[in-house]
Amino acid sequence: MTTGMREKTALIYSSDFSRFSYGEEHPFKVQRFRLAYELMKEYGLTSIPHTKVFDCEPAEENDLLTFHAHNYLAKLKEFSSSDEPRADFRYGLGDMENPVFRGLYDWACLGTGGTLKAAHLVTEEGYDVAFNIAGGWHHAHKSRASGFSYLNDCVIAINKLLQKGKRVVYLDLDAHHCDGVQEAFYDTDQVLTMSIHESGMYFFPGTGFEKETGAGRGKGFTVNIPLVEHADDALFMKAFDEVIFPLVAAYDPDVMVTQLGADTFRTDPLTRLEITTHSYSYIVRKLKALKIPWVAVGGGGYESINVARAWTLAWAIMNGVELPHRLPESFVSTIRELGFKNKMLLDAMHWAHEDDRNRALDAVEKSIATIKKKVFPIIIGRYDKDPG
């Protein structure tokens, strides 16, 4: 393991992140938090200088009310206190997607509290980066659970940043579009909301098309790059380099909030993209190079070892640490007992089949052209300090 220049960084982790369960048959497995943390420990990433691991407190209701409706929170609390099967589909609660279980409200508040803690550390205590692996619940709406998400920690933390007068970039790398976050900030120019995701044409949540660019004062401050199935590493990097990076650099926010979902990976069971750790780590390195105060959160990922690898890599990059390509042997032995056969931390760059890739390339080039026409004149024109 080699190290570069380190900044002051914080990892938010609680053993309680893995204490609840969506159910044996549900694709979201809370064990992924523990596996990610254990892999970080194996590499020594939880005890390096200038880094601190923080536990967190559950978010308070006053913070939740900056986005969520009171009656929705009351229903969450009611269902959370019962062992009986409950459902209220008006609020998106109790179906196969968003099950109800005892302690649900407390668990959701804990993850949200972790993101609020990260935002506080970055803005008030001089941390350059703070990473809450149990955040990233970007589908939750004002009065409805959706997409495994009950409380939208990203929106709640950004609202706290806005109260402090900060301008924010929100970047979402999850395979699913950040519909809840987009909904919250669609009409403001104080948040530049950006997402690279699998196209909603035939994929949940059915939103996030390139023509969705904001409304009112927020026109041009929503950016979506929908990728069609089989988009690979090169196309993921292309979307980032040609759209995301120049817009973030031009907007030059006070704080950057990134959702680092790992369900874009080619072996994820719920998605159809063909991304690997190659492009994922490339993008995280580019984000670090911007040197913007950085709040990072977890997100999706339904192959638990992919999640552990991705977030360990991200945390290493945030700390200027280069890791070996292979997983530690002791970790390989542990996950083998759980049925996982992975041995490599880093993947080689992956290219999709030529025909699939050509279709994906055509789609991403059309999206990029649309964004450059509709969004670049607004953001680059208003904020770029060096047009040359």
DSSP symbols for 233-289? HHHHHHHIIIIIHHHHHHH--SEEEEE---TTBTT-TT---BB-HHHHHHHHHHHHH
- pLDDT exceeds 90 at position 84: no
Confidence of residue 385 (pLDDT cuts 50, 70, 90): low
- pLDDT exceeds 90 at position 366: yes
- pLDDT exceeds 80 at position 33: yes
Confidence of residue 108 (pLDDT cuts 50, 70, 90): very high
- Give me the percent of the chain exceeding a pLDDT of 90: 93
Average pLDDT along the chain: 95
Q: Which residues have C-beta within 8 Å of that of residue 94, sequence separation ≥ 6? A: 79, 85, 86, 87, 88, 100
- What pLDDT does residue 340 have? 87
CB burial of residue 235 (10 Å; 0-12, 13-18, 19+): buried
Confidence of residue 198 (pLDDT cuts 50, 70, 90): very high
Least confident of 121-125, 288-292, 331-335: 331-335
Confidence of residue 388 (pLDDT cuts 50, 70, 90): very low
- pLDDT exceeds 70 at position 387: no
Domains, the chain, ranges and CATH?
A: 2-176+184-193+244-352 (3.40.800.20)
Q: Report residue 79 as tokens.
A: 């269902």
How far apart CA 354 and CA 60 sit, in angstroms, is 51
Strand partners, 170: 193, 257
- What pLDDT does residue 5 have? 53
- What pLDDT does residue 85 have? 82
- Average of pLDDT values for 78-107? 94
- What pLDDT does residue 313 have? 98
Rg (CA), the chain: 20
Residues with catalytic annotation?
139
Confidence of residue 1 (pLDDT cuts 50, 70, 90): low
Length of the chain: 388
pLDDT (tens digit per residue) in 96-106: 999 999 999 99
**Residue scoring higher pLDDT (64 or 86):** 64
Strand partners, 44: none
Q: Report residue 239 as tokens.
A: 């979307």
pLDDT (tens digit per residue) in 216-234: 999 999 999 999 999 999 9
ω into 27 cis (within 30 of 0):
no
